[in-house]
Chain A
Amino acid sequence: MSILYNTDETLRERVTEGLKDEFKHNAIRTAQEVFYTKRGELVKEMGIGWQQLRMHATEVRNHVTDNLDYYVKQFAENAEANGCIMHYAPTGDDALWEVLDIFEKHGASYAVKSKSMMTEEVGLNEVLEETGITIIETDCAENILQTAGSKPSHIVVPALHFDREAIMKIYKEKRGYDGSSVPEEITHFLRKILRKEFMDAEVGIRGCNFAVASTGSVTLVTNEGNGRMVDSFPKVQIVFVGIDRIVPDLESLDTMLALLPRSAVGAKMTAYFSLDSGPRGAGEVDGPEEVHIVLMDNGRHTLANSEFSDMLRCMRCGACLNICPVYRHITGHGYGSIYPGPMGIVLTAGLVGYDDIDSMAFACSLCGACTEHCPVSIPIHDLIRQHRINIVEQGKNHAIEVPIFKALALMWSNVDVYNYAMKMGTPVMKKLAHGEDALAKDSAWIPVVKGWTSTRDFDCLSETRFRTWFKEHKKQQGGGK
């Protein structure tokens, strides 16, 4: 996988497909409501401290962005001093090259992985599998997706689009599971089968939530413990670190951790948060003997010092997805990017440009709920709007809007044309609606109207205009002019 997937389908096709899936809708709606409610309770409990934490996190992240070259260098040098082997990857392909090199040096062919968006971004699994390396996803949801051959629909709970029956069936067919569809039983089956894989794997691959410049440490936030298994038992560990994951010091790490789990899943802390500084020390019996850090840019630096630099603050919590009304309806699969939802629109367009993203930047109502909930105060909806402006200015997309707006401009700037259009509007629409009050799906053959009526009804213009009605009304009331 790379950042974009299903690129042969248009946004409209993906959305139409998504709107049909009632189960997936309900699952996303429930997830949004659960996370939103729990988050709200915790935010309330923190009083004014919550806003202060947001503002502090914002100033810390901005400071790092403004001095990004310095902090990347400081992190790299300190991680190396801790005994980590550094690999520098200006591009995703550089990162893949480095990883293949590590496998080759060790003659390794068997790896376990804990969830990492960076590895998704470069399509690591596919590349390793092509070279005959077995790579096992160990996060429950990721394992379900890998076993089923499916894609994530949510960044925090990626397998939300499968119900328990479907998951039971997947493991029955592929892994010989013979239990019931009770989530507890399936999960404990996964505990059993994956345990052996963790102990036998030669290489552990993981991501990094925050990297600490002053100590050269990497961190991992997990609930299931698969991240800990991956970084405790395989002898060789590969850590993917994005250049936008860096915080200056341990104190600022606390600020980020006070915000991340609360924003992501409405919990004060996740079950595990580990701070790793180099390979196992002298006399230690477990932990990796060799730690490789792949420090990757892959287009991120272009956001610095640009109109999208705010996006470099993003901590990938998913709070903007959990509040987004558009995401609620089109689901993670609607966007066609591994980064879905409001943050996904801004980041995807920022990283891959406008040519291949179809109309993704327009899958947003600009309501601003994302901005309000963002723990690092990214003006997400403003940035989405800025992408739209750029897209239109560069003539990349939505060229059809130009003649429509020209026609509308003409109508609204000429009284006679306007009055005529208003007069003709009602009877024409009535006719198209077969005498009903709204245009339904069957009007989708009309070029411009199609955009609306293929998914929604479009109310006919009223027979009486408001101004006319108001004049009449005043007359009846007997007052005014």
Chain B
Amino acid sequence: MALGNKSLSDLLNPISKQLEHDVVAEHVDLPEWEFVPWRVTDGKSAAELVDMFASEAEKIRVQVKRCKRDELAACVASIVGEGVPETGEACTVVCASDERFATAGLYDALAAEEKVSDVTVWDEAKGQANVDAAYVATYGVTYASAGIAETGTVVQPTSPACGRAVSLLPLVHIAVVDAATIEPTMLTVMKAYADADGKLPSQICFISGPSATADIELVRVEGVHGPMYVRYVVVE
């Protein structure tokens, strides 16, 4: 048989034959699952889940700040106001475009910081310039769509208002997360996406701490290809 240009049937036929199926079924129902696993978050109250989210995040070396909604701008500004971590040099910031950030006055608050030399708010009209700004930025600020208590994870879907680069290229990623959106496990997040109408975002990234490796002699090193530092701001 010639190489390449195979059809889906070419792939499926040997599988069906091996399974002794005459044709590929039109529809297969999921069985009634026998096991429904118990999870550590079962029975926890919303407040307990927020505490668990914060403590799990700290275990994976994320610094967590908690604030009221009207303190959001000041809280994020106080983090970037320190400049580049460890050196304290002047820094640049790339920030997701988000109604809630605008309402909180975040963009102005960031620009007003003495050590912040430039603030780029993600703008689809500017195309590649957004990515170029993120490439050199010290801080990337995003609004997470949810948090996961069990693992201290933030959920970051990609959109025209917030590209993949914001949470990936800068030295520090600051994720703002509403306490009300903190879910017990990834399961509830997945269920919500499964129930939603329409296509999923092109990427949903589940982020749990700084980028890290232990590839050299199993010594943990943070800051490989993604951010070296991650900060969460939990809005209550």
Q: Does A411 contact B (CB under 8 A)?
A: no
Give the chain A neighbours of B60 by CB distance below 8 A. 269
Evaluate contact between A250 and B28: CB separation under 8 angstroms: no
Give the chain A neighbours of B40 by CB distance below 8 A. 45-47, 49
Q: How many Å lie between the Cα of A73 and that of B14 in the bound state? A: 13
Name which residue of chain B comes closest to A279, CB basis.
B202
Q: How many A-B residue pairs have CB under 8 A?
A: 287
Evaluate contact between B37 and A255: CB separation under 8 angstroms: yes
Q: Does A119 contact B (CB under 8 A)?
A: no
Q: How many Å lie between the Cα of A254 and that of B193 in the bound state? A: 12
Give the chain A neighbours of B35 by CB distance below 8 A. 52-53, 55-56, 59
Q: Does B226 contact A (CB under 8 A)?
A: yes
Give the chain A neighbours of B213 by CB distance below 8 A. 140-141, 187, 223-224
Q: How many Å lie between the Cα of A284 and that of B18 in the bound state? A: 43
Give the chain B neighbours of A82 by CB distance below 8 A. 199
With A63-B31, A73-B8, A90-B11 already in contact, the answer to whether A224 and B212 are too (CB < 8 A) is yes
Give the chain B neighbours of A167 by CB distance below 8 A. 216
Name which residue of chain B comes closest to A158, CB basis.
B215
Which of B70-78, B81-89, B98-106, B155-163 touches A?
Answer: B155-163
Within 8 A of A (CB), among B25-50: 25, 28, 30-31, 33-40
Name which residue of chain B comes closest to A60, CB basis.
B33
Which of B107-115, B124-132, B137-145 touches A?
Answer: B124-132
Evaluate contact between A250 and B191: CB separation under 8 angstroms: yes
Evaluate contact between A273 and B206: CB separation under 8 angstroms: yes
Evaluate contact between B37 and A226: CB separation under 8 angstroms: no
Q: Does A370 contact B (CB under 8 A)?
A: no
Q: Does B194 contact A (CB under 8 A)?
A: yes
Q: Mark A140-184, 1 if CB is under 8 A from B, else 0.
A: 110010000000000001111001100100000000000000011
Evaluate contact between A270 and B225: CB separation under 8 angstroms: no
B100 CB, min distance to chain A CBs, angstroms: 19
Q: Mark A291-307, 1 if CB is under 8 A from B, else 0.
A: 00001010001101110
Give the chain B neighbours of A194 by CB distance below 8 A. 225
Evaluate contact between A271 and B209: CB separation under 8 angstroms: yes
Q: How many Å lie between the Cα of A280 and that of B165 in the bound state? A: 13
Give how many B residues have a beta carbon under 8 Å from the other chain's beta carbons: 84
Name which residue of chain A comes closest to B3, CB basis.
A97
Q: How many Å lie between the Cα of A249 and that of B194 in the bound state? A: 8
Q: How many Å lie between the Cα of A44 and that of B209 in the bound state? A: 23
A325 CB, min distance to chain B CBs, angstroms: 20
Q: How many Å lie between the Cα of A250 and that of B149 in the bound state? A: 18
Evaluate contact between A232 and B168: CB separation under 8 angstroms: yes
Evaluate contact between A49 and B39: CB separation under 8 angstroms: yes
Evaluate contact between B200 and A217: CB separation under 8 angstroms: yes
B5 CB, min distance to chain A CBs, angstroms: 8
Q: How many Å lie between the Cα of A6 and that of B130 in the bound state? A: 48
Evaluate contact between B19 and A272: CB separation under 8 angstroms: no
Within 8 A of A (CB), among B201-230: 201-219, 221, 223-227
Q: Does A27 contact B (CB under 8 A)?
A: yes
Q: Mark A91-131, 1 if CB is under 8 A from B, else 0.
A: 00110011001000000000000000000000000000000
A258 CB, min distance to chain B CBs, angstroms: 7
Out of B11, B160, B201, name the residue touching A88 (CB < 8 Å): B11
Out of A59, A69, A139, A283, name the residue touching B15 (CB < 8 Å): A69
Name, among B6, B30, B131, the residue most crowded by chain A CB atoms within 10 Å (CB to CB): B6
Give the chain A neighbours of B197 by CB distance below 8 A. none
Name which residue of chain A comes closest to B157, CB basis.
A275
Q: How many Å lie between the Cα of A27 and that of B227 in the bound state? A: 28
Q: Does A385 contact B (CB under 8 A)?
A: no
Q: Does A72 contact B (CB under 8 A)?
A: yes
Evaluate contact between B216 and A140: CB separation under 8 angstroms: yes
Evaluate contact between A250 and B193: CB separation under 8 angstroms: yes
Q: Does B24 contact A (CB under 8 A)?
A: yes
Name which residue of chain B comes closest to A225, CB basis.
B226
A144 CB, min distance to chain B CBs, angstroms: 7
Q: What are the 3 tightest A-B residue pairs by CB atom distance, in nearest-first order? A: A225-B226, A283-B160, A97-B4
Q: Footprint of A on B, CB under 8 Å?
A: 3-8, 10-12, 14-16, 18-21, 24-25, 28, 30-31, 33-40, 56, 60, 122, 124, 126-128, 130-131, 135, 150-153, 158-160, 163-165, 168, 185-187, 190-191, 193-194, 199-219, 221, 223-227
Known A184-B221, A269-B151; 14 more pairs at CB < 8 Å? A46-B40, A88-B11, A90-B11, A183-B216, A187-B224, A225-B224, A228-B226, A231-B203, A249-B194, A269-B153, A274-B203, A285-B122, A286-B131, A286-B165
23 residue pairs from A and B, CB less than 8 Å apart: A52-B35, A56-B37, A59-B31, A66-B19, A67-B19, A68-B19, A70-B25, A90-B10, A90-B14, A94-B3, A183-B221, A187-B213, A224-B215, A229-B225, A232-B168, A243-B11, A255-B187, A268-B150, A271-B210, A272-B205, A274-B204, A275-B205, A297-B11
